[in-house]
């Protein structure tokens, strides 16, 4: 496929959605994220996995937009989804909340380029799905969980404060903690090295409205190093403690107005 602009790709995707021969429903601002996250796969041989088939509409949308070379795999717990095999889609039937299921499913899927979860949307399902997809990633790829709105919704509140969004925000700490060896004695002790291991191939975690994307690249699995391009002859003075020593801000919490003072400076 010749290079198309972001806007063209976005228009094509909206058209593929509207023209899908089967019903599908998506939140309108997801299309922007899809183009950012999956646009590079258009016209290429790739493996695209979506958990959540329902009426099959999104399977046709992905095929129309990505192109005929794409292997589109749909996953659903409803055995009725198997009928879409007759239309050239790979369909795997199973329960995304069960890690054992993923063991077998990823054996069948093999290396994948993109994984999108639009399944049951309960936090534990989203967490197990993200963890298993990240564990089974074998090459540069992206693992995307959508409908993170359920982290706040009453219908899904049995997760209490262990929502998928809280899991994802905590995972961003792991990305930073893998640099703790640069700063001896500065970080809390890493008592859970397993968490660093789990996310070591994740190079970024991107938050969109209703979507979290984990970008994976095995090349980043190396422990990061602190690099000078060249040693300075004489280090300039760093003025970080010469300025104001605090800021009062409204914390970005949509549910509570919270004005807080964030202190800085040094003793
Ligand atoms: C939101 S719909 C999918 C919509 C579809 N992707 C679209 O855009 O048209 C959710 C689907 O997830 C499936 N699902 C729910 N819980 C599941 C689970 N535990 N494992 C696998 N699939 C599940 C449901 O059967 C349903 O078909």
Question: What are the beta bridge partners of residue 60?
Answer: none
Q: Which of 80, 131, 76, 136 is nearest to 108 (CA)?
A: 136
- Hey, whose CA ends up nearest to atom 11 of ligand 1? 52
pTM metric for this prediction: 0.96
Biggest CA-to-CA distance, the chain: 70
pLDDT at 176 over 90: yes
Residue 57 CA: which ligand 1 atom is closest? 9
Look at residue 220 in the predicted model and tell me its pLDDT. 85
pLDDT at 13 over 80: yes
What band does 109 get if pLDDT is binned at 50, 70 and 90? very high
Query: pLDDT, tens digit, for every residue of 189-239?
Result: 999 999 999 999 999 999 999 999 999 999 888 888 899 999 999 999 999
What band does 2 get if pLDDT is binned at 50, 70 and 90? low
How many domains, the chain? 1
Q: How many CB atoms lie within 10 A of CB 24?
A: 18
Question: What are the beta bridge partners of residue 70?
Answer: 46
| Boundaries of domain holding 207 | 6-221
Compute the distance from residue 119 Cα to the ligand 1 centre, in Å.
4
110 assigned to some structural domain: yes
CATH code of 66's domain: 3.40.50.150
Task: Kindly state if the Cβ of 132 falls inside 6 Å of ligand 1.
Answer: no
191 assigned to some structural domain: yes
Task: Kindly state if the Cβ of 19 falls inside 6 Å of ligand 1.
Answer: no
Task: Kindly state if the Cβ of 57 falls inside 6 Å of ligand 1.
Answer: yes
Burial (0-12, 13-18, 19+ Cβ within 10 Å), 141: buried
Query: pLDDT, tens digit, for every residue of 67-91?
Result: 999 999 999 999 999 999 999 999 9
């Amino acid at each position: 496929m010749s290079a198309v602009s972001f806007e063209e790709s976005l228009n094509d995707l909206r058209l593929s959605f509207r023209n899908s021969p089967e019903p599908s429903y998506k939140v309108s601002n997801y299309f922007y994220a899809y183009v950012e996250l999956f646009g590079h796969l258009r016209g290429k041989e790739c493996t695209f996995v979506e958990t959540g088939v329902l009426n099959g509409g999104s399977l046709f949308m992905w095929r129309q937009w990505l192109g005929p070379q794409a292997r589109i795999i749909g996953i659903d717990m409803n055995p009725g989804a198997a009928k879409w095999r007759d239309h050239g889609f790979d369909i795997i039937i199973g329960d995304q909340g069960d890690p054992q299921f993923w063991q077998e499913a990823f054996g069948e899927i093999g290396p994948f380029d993109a994984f999108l979860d639009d399944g049951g949307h309960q936090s534990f399902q989203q967490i197990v799905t993200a963890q298993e997809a990240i564990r089974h990633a074998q090459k540069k790829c992206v693992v995307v969980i959508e409908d993170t709105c359920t982290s706040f919704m009453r219908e899904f509140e049995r997760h209490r404060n262990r929502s998928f969004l809280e899991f994802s925000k905590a995972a961003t700490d792991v990305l930073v903690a893998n640099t703790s060896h640069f700063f001896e004695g500065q970080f809390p002790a890493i008592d859970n090295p397993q968490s660093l291991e789990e996310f070591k191939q994740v190079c970024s975690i991107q938050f969109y409205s209703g979507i979290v994307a984990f970008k994976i690249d095995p090349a980043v699995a190396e422990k990061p190093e602190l690099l000078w391009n060249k040693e300075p002859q004489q280090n300039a003075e760093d003025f970080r403690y010469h300025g104001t020593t605090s800021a009062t801000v409204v914390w970005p919490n949509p549910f509570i107005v919270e004005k807080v003072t964030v202190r800085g400076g040094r003793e």
